[in-house]
Structure 1
Amino acid sequence: MIATDTSAQNLPRFCGVPTFMRAPLVTAHGEFDIGIAGVPFDGGVTARSGARYGPREIRNMSTMTRAIHHVTGFNPFAACRVGDVGDVPFTNLYDLEKAHDEIRQFLQPFFQNGKKMLMVGGDHSITYPIFQAMQPAEPLGMVHIDAHTDTWDTFAGSKFTHGSPFRRAVEAGLLDPRRTVQIGIRGAQNSDSGWRFSHESGMRVIFIEEFDRMGVEAVIAEARRVVGMGPTYLSIDVDGLDPVFAPGTGTPEIGGLTTRETLQLIRGLSGLDLRGADVVEVAPPYDPSGNTALLGATLLYEALCLLAESYQ
């Protein structure tokens, strides 16, 4: 296996053109095994916008990323070729459904060519067109870290906001609700329709209070039980963490996961059949410190390590 060209990682961190984790910018499918794509779109938000700036700031903060994992000793850049494929080139930012179609069209050739992909949002509405681009032969399982189930239906006349991607994915036969676990759910709602859809469709919903009672290791075991060894997707919304750790997000909810719990949880997914992953809802305008973007970059690296395992 040819490893990633990591020459840019030898530059001072403040030098060079920023790419995701200083991986090479790639344009041809033959140049990479795992691609990282920016999806700078927040036209599906129901509250505060700003996640459109997520990919840019995560690229910037990911210059802090080093190669070798301090817990596992694994170097994903040595295991396979990792490349930044750039951003989805939007031309229809003000038409939600057309913008989603542009996401699907941009990503679909990568999946068709057998690539594993990491997507950086952007709001959580982008995951539905990502699933469409993947065209899975069978419905995917999913580990979903979030404060919200994102299984609501229509909001302000649209069925495709960031509150509904997983309802749409189930309806389209792209996501298997019986192989879906949602972790960290919390916060009052004006309607219980999202919670009810998740429960009634068969999803395993772990509210934050149950997470606290179970502990991280038991939650990892439950997540692995639910998704099994079939094809699975990992979706990480940074509002799953407490806003003490991730203030730069559009829909913060008090009482969430800590950074240590989240990192432990993601690492516990090692060995699953992961076909793709995303990190979404980093909204840098609400966090001048840059810590939320640094968190996003760190979560991206952890997800990369999981996807790169299969190339060892």
Structure 2
Amino acid sequence: MYKPKDSSLSPRFCGVRTFMRLEQVKTTENVDFVVMGVPFDTAASNRTGQRSAPQHIRNFSVLLKPYNPDVDINIFDHCSGVDYGDVDVIPGNIHRTYDKMVSEIYPILEKGIIPIIMGGDHSISLGNLRAFYKAYGPIALVHFDSHGDTWDNYYGEKYMHGTPFRRAVEEGLIDVEHSIQVGMRGSLYSPADLQDARDLGFEVITMKEIRQIGMNEVLERIHRRVEDKKVFVSYDIDFVDPAFAPGTGTPEVGGPTSFEALEYVRGLKGLDTVGFDLVEVLPSYDPGEITAALASSIIFEMITQVAVKKEAEISAVLERNLPR
């Protein structure tokens, strides 16, 4: 069983930085989840530096503790996890980077382990989805973002951080009838920028609609859309209002608070989530590590969901084995 160092016995400033002070071990034995980084930012269209995000998030995450009071669960009573390190990306070559991602992530999925992946810009999600398709076939997508990332191209380039989900649909990686995008807002070039995602088959809930119907209804719509399908969750930090997450490349005002950002992850309880990425954290625009604090907490909530799922699976097995 792998679990974090106890910071009541070992000061947080001691040792090599890993996520939540987990052991840095590249193993698929005796683990339920792995945290890993994909420090690639060559496909960003505005500010760059997302390659430094995995370590930036790790640096702050040493403050995290194993018990989640909002869910009332001690994570490591129910599951085991490690910091798997980073994929050795190829700066400037997105296609070779995608190949490396698939070769690193697929063996993890083969063992039924849940990878929790820190970007990097949002282009990495296409590499993630290729690995998941290889393991599971087309998969449902829950996408939290202020942008749909379904453009056809940037500057004539097909593989950028604003195009991964169009490419994923074209490649047949996503079960689009069970996929949903949440949080879209901000200025656009034309109505087609938002309509494109719907034309591809996604359900889309804009931020304005979220404020009209409320978070509970949004979460119900997510669950209705996904049903019992295996799901990959992609979380762009710019989903959150820049007042709470300033460290990102393309911020959009009018988004959720940090509390709401965490509640959306908690609200995924009951979905068959098999993977997660958090992308677009930009350390150079993150005063006081505000964004790192939120990003590490979002990942903590996702790890919590792994523990909740594991606890439910064990309880179901025990119940089936009870004498009738």
Q: TM-score, normalization: structure 1?
A: 0.95
Structure 1 position 174, deviation (Å): 1.1
User: In 1, Cα distance between the equivalents of 2:288 and 2:123?
Assistant: 26
Matched letter for residue 244 of structure 1: A
Residues 128 and 166, structure 1, Cα contact 8 Å, conserved in 2: yes
Residues 8 and 16, structure 1, Cα contact 8 Å, conserved in 2: no
SS at match of 2:55: helix
Larger Rg: 2
Q: Spell out, residue by residue over 1:187-232, the C-alpha distance to the aligned partner (whole angstroms, 9 max, x if none).
A: 1122444422211122111111100001111111111111111101
SS at match of 1:130: helix
Aligned to 1:265: 264
Structure 1 position 110, deviation (Å): 1.2
User: In 2, Cα distance between the equivalents of 1:153 and 1:202?
Assistant: 15
Matched positions, count: 309
Aligned to 1:292: 291
Is 1:41 the counterpart of 2:40 in the alignment?
yes
Residues 106 and 135, structure 2, Cα contact 8 Å, conserved in 1: no
Residues 149 and 195, structure 1, Cα contact 8 Å, conserved in 2: yes
Say if 1:161 and 1:191 are closer, same or farther in 2 by CA, change over 3 A: farther
Aligned to 2:97: 99
Residues 125 and 160, structure 1, Cα contact 8 Å, conserved in 2: yes
Residues 4 and 78, structure 1, Cα contact 8 Å, conserved in 2: no
Unmatched runs of 5 consecutive residues or more in structure 1 = none
Aligned to 2:21: 22
SS at match of 2:60: helix
User: In 2, Cα distance between the equivalents of 1:9 and 1:160?
Assistant: 42
User: In 2, Cα distance between the equivalents of 1:41 and 1:73?
Assistant: 35
Residues 152 and 193, structure 1, Cα contact 8 Å, conserved in 2: no
Structure 1 position 31, deviation (Å): 4.3
Aligned to 2:106: 108
Residues 6 and 24, structure 1, Cα contact 8 Å, conserved in 2: yes
SS at match of 1:290: helix
Aligned to 2:318: none
Q: What are the equivalent positions in structure 2 for 1:8-19 lying under 5 Å apart?
A: 8-10=6-8, 11-19=10-18
Matched letter for residue 132 of structure 1: R
Aligned to 2:5: 7
Is 1:221 the counterpart of 2:220 in the alignment?
yes
Unmatched runs of 5 consecutive residues or more in structure 2 = 312-324
Residues 185 and 252, structure 2, Cα contact 8 Å, conserved in 1: yes
Aligned to 1:69: 68
Q: Which moved more, 1:199-208 or 1:105-114?
A: 105-114
Structure 1 position 4, deviation (Å): 2.7
Structure 1 position 115, deviation (Å): 1.5
Residues 39 and 120, structure 2, Cα contact 8 Å, conserved in 1: yes
Root-mean-square deviation (Å): 1.4
Is 1:87 the counterpart of 2:86 in the alignment?
yes
Matched letter for residue 248 of structure 1: G
User: In 2, Cα distance between the equivalents of 1:176 and 1:107?
Assistant: 20
Q: TM-score, normalization: structure 2?
A: 0.92
Is 1:302 the counterpart of 2:298 in the alignment?
no
Residues 26 and 32, structure 1, Cα contact 8 Å, conserved in 2: no
Aligned to 2:322: none
User: In 1, Cα distance between the equivalents of 2:17 and 2:263?
Assistant: 28
Structure 1 position 136, deviation (Å): 4.2
User: In 2, Cα distance between the equivalents of 1:161 and 1:187?
Assistant: 19
